[in-house]
């Protein structure tokens, strides 16, 4: 039994100590779904290490049900393992991300989303974030909170900590690419822009630059990162300066390009074929050569066969363009960046390539917590 100890450690280990994941609800869904014989399990990288342990827990309570684990990367709810449906899987359990309602009409399958809700106390770091924002905005007291699915259930704790220090707190609803209030995706900051007029700036409660970069790019208001894991509190100013320089360089490099590849992502929530067709047409009208290139997994290994082209325009996940640019030896642009190259937009009108939902979320636009 060489692996039993490892499995035991994982079952009671850091995942379940740090996160609430409602596996009881998963069991209830499987038991209550008539005729369910096979269940797919999909995890983001950070949780896939626990996949077999979670299967063991579920299987013990659902005898006779087969489980199939997807080993492919999963970057968001935009990226559902729909390929498991062809294997005869009846129901997909997608862990670690919240539902993306705007894509539900694009597939005909049963999907259950299971968030990993972090148990961390976010109060002290939220208050520190609000203080930093006030310092950055010369005494501003109106704070917009944005966060990720891991901490969204703690919006009240964040707001209470800020209000105790005299701040006025707002949370936006955003559009239906988002599952809840105040949620930020790497490609969608509508929960922020919906309250932009009401606040002096934003405090992002969460870790890493990936999510707050989106809102820092999308609004003119300052953004402060308040990391509940490390306690780090800082503005995004320096990071954004660096990114803007990188994007400027990519645009400059693409200015002499003649032949373009227009990339279309085939993952269900990353596909923008209509936009890609429009871009191809626009390029051709300007006398350029343009090819529509569809792919599931973005990598230079897959794209190297198009190295004779001069530049790429990516209509899929915008963060592939802005964050992974160093992996591609040729310039890769977002659609708004291409407009700058073609003279349809000025550098001063630079815009982030936001991936919007199809309609506003039903809640009020602005919520005062
Ligand atoms: S940033 Fe990219 S991976 Fe994340 S939700 Fe948006 S499209 Fe998906």
Q: What is the pLDDT of residues 340-354, one digit of tens each?
A: 999 999 999 999 999
Summary mean pLDDT of the chain: 93
Give the E-state strand segments of 62-129 in sequence order.
66-69, 91-95, 110-114, 117-118
Label the pairing between strands 38-42 and 117-118: unpaired
CA-only gyration radius of the chain, Å: 22
- Convert the pLDDT of each residue in 221-234 to its tens digit: 999 999 999 999 99
In this predicted structure, the answer to whether residue 11 has a pLDDT above a threshold of 50 is no
Name the band, by pLDDT with cuts 50, 70 and 90, for residue 203.
very high
Across 2-6, 71-75, 80-84, least confident range: 2-6
Q: Which atom of ligand 1 is nearest to the CA of 188?
A: 6
Q: Is 111 left (phi over 0), alpha (psi -120 to 50) or beta?
A: beta
Task: Please name the residue that has the structure tokens 């932009």.
Answer: 196
For residue 4, the CA-to-ligand 1 centroid distance in Å is: 36
Q: Whose Cα sits closest to atom 2 in ligand 1?
A: 317
How far apart, in whole angstroms, are the C-alpha atoms of residue 95 and residue 271?
A: 21
In this predicted structure, the answer to whether residue 368 has a pLDDT above a threshold of 80 is no
Q: Which atom of ligand 1 is nearest to the CA of 79?
A: 8
What is the percent of the chain where pLDDT is above 90? Answer: 91
Tell me, using a 6 A CB cutoff, whether residue 186 lines ligand 1.
Answer: yes
Which whole number is the average pLDDT over 204-219?
A: 95
Run of H or E including 19: strand 19-20
Domains of the chain: 4-116 (3.40.50.11840), 123-240+361-368 (3.40.50.11850), 244-349 (3.40.50.11860)
* Alpha helix ranges (H) inside the chain: 4-11, 14-18, 23-32, 45-48, 51-61, 123-136, 155-163, 190-193, 210-218, 237-254, 273-285, 300-303, 318-323, 335-341
Q: Give residue 360's pLDDT.
A: 82
Q: Which atom of ligand 1 is nearest to the CA of 78?
A: 8
For residue 76, the CA-to-ligand 1 centroid distance in Å is: 6
Q: Whose Cα sits closest to atom 1 in ligand 1?
A: 186
- Convert the pLDDT of each residue in 39-66 to its tens digit: 999 999 989 999 999 999 999 999 999 9
């Amino acid at each position: 039994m060489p692996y039993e100890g490892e499995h035991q450690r994982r079952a009671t280990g850091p995942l379940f100590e740090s996160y609430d994941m409602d596996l009881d609800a998963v069991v209830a869904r499987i038991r209550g779904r008539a005729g369910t014989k096979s269940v797919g399990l999909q995890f983001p990288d950070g949780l896939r290490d626990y996949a077999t342990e979670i299967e063991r827990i579920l299987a013990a309570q659902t005898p006779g049900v087969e489980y199939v684990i997807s080993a492919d990367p999963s970057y968001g709810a935009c990226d559902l393992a729909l390929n498991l449906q062809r294997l005869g899987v009846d129901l997909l359990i997608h862990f670690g991300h919240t539902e993306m309602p705007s894509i539900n009409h694009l597939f005909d399958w049963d999907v259950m989303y299971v968030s990993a809700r972090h148990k961390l106390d976010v109060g002290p770091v939220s208050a520190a974030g609000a203080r930093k924002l006030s310092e950055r905005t010369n005494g501003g007291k109106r704070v917009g909170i944005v966060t990720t699915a891991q901490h969204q259930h703690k919006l009240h704790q964040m707001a209470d900590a800020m209000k105790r220090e005299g701040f006025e707190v707002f949370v936006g609803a955003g559009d239906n690419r988002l599952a809840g209030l105040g949620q930020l995706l790497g490609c969608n900051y509508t929960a922020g822009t919906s309250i932009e007029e009401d606040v002096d700036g934003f405090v992002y409660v969460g870790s890493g630059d990936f999510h707050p970069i989106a809102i820092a790019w999308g609004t003119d208001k300052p953004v402060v990162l308040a990391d509940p894991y490390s306690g780090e509190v800082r503005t995004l100013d320096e990071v954004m300066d660096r990114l803007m320089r990188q994007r400027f360089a990519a645009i400059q490099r693409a200015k002499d390009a003649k032949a373009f590849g227009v990339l279309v992502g085939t993952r269900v929530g990353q596909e923008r074929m209509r936009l890609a067709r429009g871009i191809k047409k626009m390029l051709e009208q300007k006398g350029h050569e343009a090819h529509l290139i569809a792919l599931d997994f973005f990598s230079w290994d897959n794209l190297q066969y198009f190295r004779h082209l001069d530049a790429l325009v990516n209509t899929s996940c915008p963060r592939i363009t802005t964050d992974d640019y160093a992996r591609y030896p040729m310039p890769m642009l977002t659609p708004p960046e291409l407009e700058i190259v073609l003279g349809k937009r000025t550098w001063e009108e630079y815009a982030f390539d936001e991936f919007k939902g199809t309609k506003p979320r039903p809640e009020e636009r602005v919520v005062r917590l």
